[in-house]
Amino acid sequence: MKTIALFGGSFDPPHIGHISIVKALLNLKEVDKVVVLPTFLSPFKKVSFLRASKRFRLLEDIFIDEKNVEISNYEVKQEKKIPSIKSVKYFLKKYKKIYLVIGADNLASLSRWHNYKKLNKLVTFIVASRDNIKIPKKYITLNIDESISSTKIRDKIKGNNLNNRIELITASLDKNKAQNIELFDLRDKNYFVDYAVIASSLGAKHTTALLNHLKDDIKPAETFNNVDESGDWIVVDLGDILIHIMTPEYRLKYDMESFLGSLRDGKEGDNL
């Protein structure tokens, strides 16, 4: 039986700040082992940026050479939100003492955590410093210099990945004989997506076939929020990308490229 530091969180995505926390924990004489515990979904969030399985694998890769670091899939396997106290009780069956690691930004809401009074009796809190937040003396303080946040990393990943995602979509359409593929960059245009893609099919059956090829080629990396499906015009909503697959007749009739082109070029007022 060992004493562990239980470091839970979304890790959405993992970054250098998380690595710094783990390294600092390994230097604490009170801690024999660090257990990194990615959530399936944070109790305070409705969605995650990266899938739980992806975040788990990233953490395994990051800490593969650290023999005193365990990446636990306990919460990921539950496939639902898990309160910290439930995880703590699970690990207390295996370890004699738990130091529960939180960020200083969690201190303000800590008393509102599920069954906090019981949780406080079961663990000793270690608080990682952040944003010059004052940490009360009753907690063990872990001084961390890194100020990088998952939010900043997510924003950077979104920007870097967007072009790759567009390339995968257009490549799938092209290799499966879609015609006249057009891309519209609508960022900063007050439209509800960042990009729109229009492609012509060879007919109604081919429209459906192109949708099925897209599902095979870009899932599970992409989330299909909604698919408005008919044989002549299919619209795929990926959240920040909208894909229109249309028969030539429907494309000519509804002339979506004129509308999207006016948005892209800032000329939408010309149509009023």
pTM: 0.56
Is residue 48 one of the residues assigned to a domain?
Answer: yes
pLDDT at 221: 78
User: Are residues 213 and 127 part of one domain?
Assistant: no
Q: Is 17 helix (H, G, I), strand (E, B) or coil?
A: helix
- Among 148, 175, 192, residue at a domain's last position: 148
Q: How many domains does the chain have?
A: 2
User: Are residues 246 and 190 part of one domain?
Assistant: yes
Task: Confirm if 88 and 6 have CB atoms less than 8 A apart.
Answer: yes
pLDDT at 272: 28
- Token output for 92: 């207390």
Instruction: Say how far apart CA 14 and CA 125 lie, in whole Å.
Output: 21
In which residue are the tokens 């949780």 written?
119
Is residue 50 one of the residues assigned to a domain?
Answer: yes
Range of the domain at 58: 3-148
User: Are residues 125 and 28 part of one domain?
Assistant: yes
Chunk the chain into consecutive blocks of 10 residues (it has 272) and report each block's average pLDDT, rounded to whole numbers.
Answer: 91 81 92 95 69 87 91 94 95 96 91 94 94 90 68 53 84 94 87 90 95 90 86 90 95 90 69 30
Kindly state the DSSP code that residue 107 receives in the 8-state scheme. Answer: G
Is residue 105 one of the residues assigned to a domain?
Answer: yes
Is residue 72 one of the residues assigned to a domain?
Answer: yes
How far lies 226's CA from each of 27, 206, 241, in Å? Answer: 48, 20, 11
Q: Are strands 140-142 and 124-128 parallel, antiparallel or unpaired?
A: parallel
User: Are residues 106 and 207 part of one domain?
Assistant: no
Instruction: Say how far apart CA 60 and CA 28 lie, in whole Å.
Output: 22
Those residues whose C-beta lies under 8 Å from the C-beta of residue 54, and which sit 6 or more positions away, are none
User: Are residues 201 and 103 part of one domain?
Assistant: no
User: Are residues 176 and 115 part of one domain?
Assistant: no
Is residue 191 one of the residues assigned to a domain?
Answer: yes
User: Are residues 174 and 121 part of one domain?
Assistant: no
In which residue are the tokens 């694998």 written?
57
User: Are residues 61 and 138 part of one domain?
Assistant: yes
How far lies 267's CA from each of 107, 196, 240, 259, 263, in Å? Answer: 49, 17, 22, 9, 6
Residue 70, amino acid: E
CATH number reported for the structural domain that contains residue 116 in this entry: 3.40.50.620
User: Are residues 186 and 139 part of one domain?
Assistant: no
pLDDT at 93: 95
- Among 117, 148, 179, residue at a domain's last position: 148
User: Are residues 59 and 25 part of one domain?
Assistant: yes
Is residue 133 one of the residues assigned to a domain?
Answer: yes
DSSP conformation letters of 185-249: E-TTTT-SSSEEEEEE-SSHHHHHHHHHHHHHHHTTTS---EEE--SSEEEEE-SSEEEEEE-HH
The H or E element containing residue 80 is none
pLDDT at 87: 97
What's the burial of 184, exposed, middle or buried (CB within 10 Å: 0-12/13-18/19+)?
buried
User: Are residues 123 and 54 part of one domain?
Assistant: yes
- Among 122, 148, 174, residue at a domain's last position: 148
pLDDT at 120: 96
Is residue 153 one of the residues assigned to a domain?
Answer: no
- Cα–Cα nearest to 15, from 183, 117, 148: 148
CATH number reported for the structural domain that contains residue 164 in this entry: 3.30.460.10
pLDDT at 159: 54
Instruction: Say how far apart CA 169 and CA 236 lie, in whole Å.
Output: 11
User: Are residues 225 and 121 part of one domain?
Assistant: no
Is residue 98 one of the residues assigned to a domain?
Answer: yes
Number of H helices, E strands in the chain: 9, 11
